[in-house]
Amino acid sequence: MESIRVILLPGSVLPAQPAYDELIKALGLDVQALAKDLELYARDEPPADWSLDTEVDGVLREADALGWETFHLVGYSGGGAAALAFAAKHPDRLLSLALLEPAWAGNWDWSPAHAALWKQYEQLEALPPEQFLPAFMRLGVKPDVVLPPQQPGPPPPWMAKRPAGIKAFLRTFKSYDLDRARLAAFRPPVFFALGGLSNPDDYGEIATRLARVFFPDFHLEVFPRRHHFDPPHRIEPQRLAGLLRRHWDQAEGKG
């Protein structure tokens, strides 16, 4: 039996392997899953010309190197934004798209609440690194959510790159032109996982917009106890794996 081919893109904080280890185990041996790190972190500093197109090109290189003419694509947070950009530019390469709370701002006609939230995100750029990440995390969840405390001891070496990387995402969201017409023409099925404790003015609105305006074959799955910083691919991998496998089977005509 032919295996399922999938590329998984992480968010702007945790590297791909620790982000997706448990999900890959839960998916089973017949799934060829590549957890791909972001091009953003290939060097010590984000490249001056980095944009979502850099990530799109990186996914294309990986797929070509593997000999994958078509495949499934999964993206979380910033990786979800890159997955949306890939779907707009190379729809013919995708069997399906799965979005795990993708980040997005851009120049769309957002609600006043979403626009105001992104003004707050933009204001974070002036903060020093030790204040930046806690403030960034607070904006991503509902006000009454208790965020996990910082782990004791020194942070892992890769963490030093994250404030600059997140700021690079915030900057590209202001200028990147995500082609709405091409997204509306995307025909493979789209799966969206949403945490019930995430900020509804951010990820909830993105889900609503993508469902109503763009993708004709769209499935939303809510994880009531999850939020953006304890996402289902890490906390509920078995449930998410089952949903993704069903999504992929339907995309390949097996469901």
* pLDDT for the residue numbered 150: 77
Rounded mean pLDDT, 224-232: 97
Q: How far is CA 12 from CA 108, 207, 254, in A?
A: 22, 19, 33
- From the list 136, 141, 139, 102, the residue with the least C-alpha distance to 117 is 139
Contacts of 150 (CB under 8 A, 6+ apart): none
The total domain count for the chain is 1
Burial per residue of 81-101, b for 16 or more beta-carbon CB atoms within 10 angstroms, e otherwise: bbbbbbbbbeeebbbbbbbbb
φ, ψ of residue 78 in degrees (nearest 5)? -60, -35
Tokens of 86: 């890939």
Beta-sheet pairing, 190-195 with 94-100: parallel
Rounded mean pLDDT, 6-29: 97
Is the pLDDT at 154 greater than 60, yes or no?
Answer: yes
Contact status, residue 78 vs residue 86, Cβ threshold 8 Å: no
CA 3 centroid distance within chain: 23
| Residue 49, helix vs strand vs coil | coil
CATH number of the structural domain spanning residue 156: 3.40.50.1820
Domain hosting 236: range is: 4-251
Is the pLDDT at 152 greater than 90, yes or no?
Answer: no
In percent, the amount of the chain with pLDDT more than 90 equals: 78
* pLDDT for the residue numbered 143: 94
Rounded mean pLDDT, 218-234: 97
* pLDDT for the residue numbered 110: 87
Contact status, residue 103 vs residue 205, Cβ threshold 8 Å: no
In percent, the amount of the chain with pLDDT more than 70 equals: 99
Contact status, residue 142 vs residue 225, Cβ threshold 8 Å: no
Q: pLDDT-derived band of residue 216, with 50, 70 and 90 as boundaries?
A: confident
Interior CA angle at 249 toward 247 and 252, to 5°? 110
Sheet containing strand 218-223, strands side by side: 31-35, 4-9, 71-76, 94-100, 190-195, 218-223
Verdict on whether the full-model pTM lies above 0.85:
yes
φ, ψ of residue 141 in degrees (nearest 5)? -130, 170
Tokens of 216: 């004709």
* pLDDT for the residue numbered 174: 87
Q: pLDDT-derived band of residue 214, with 50, 70 and 90 as boundaries?
A: confident
Q: pLDDT-derived band of residue 92, with 50, 70 and 90 as boundaries?
A: very high
For the beta carbon of residue 106, count every other beta carbon within 10 angstroms: 17
Is the pLDDT at 89 greater than 90, yes or no?
Answer: yes
Contact status, residue 107 vs residue 83, Cβ threshold 8 Å: no
- From the list 251, 241, 243, the residue with the least C-alpha distance to 31 is 241
Is the pLDDT at 246 greater than 70, yes or no?
Answer: yes
Contact status, residue 255 vs residue 249, Cβ threshold 8 Å: yes
- From the list 63, 62, 67, 228, the residue with the least C-alpha distance to 140 is 228
Rounded mean pLDDT, 99-116: 88
* pLDDT for the residue numbered 255: 62
What confidence tens digit (pLDDT) does each residue in 162-204 have? Answer: 999 999 999 999 889 888 889 889 999 999 999 999 999 999 9
Q: What is the largest CA-CA distance in the chain?
A: 53
Q: pLDDT-derived band of residue 1, with 50, 70 and 90 as boundaries?
A: low
Rounded mean pLDDT, 220-239: 97
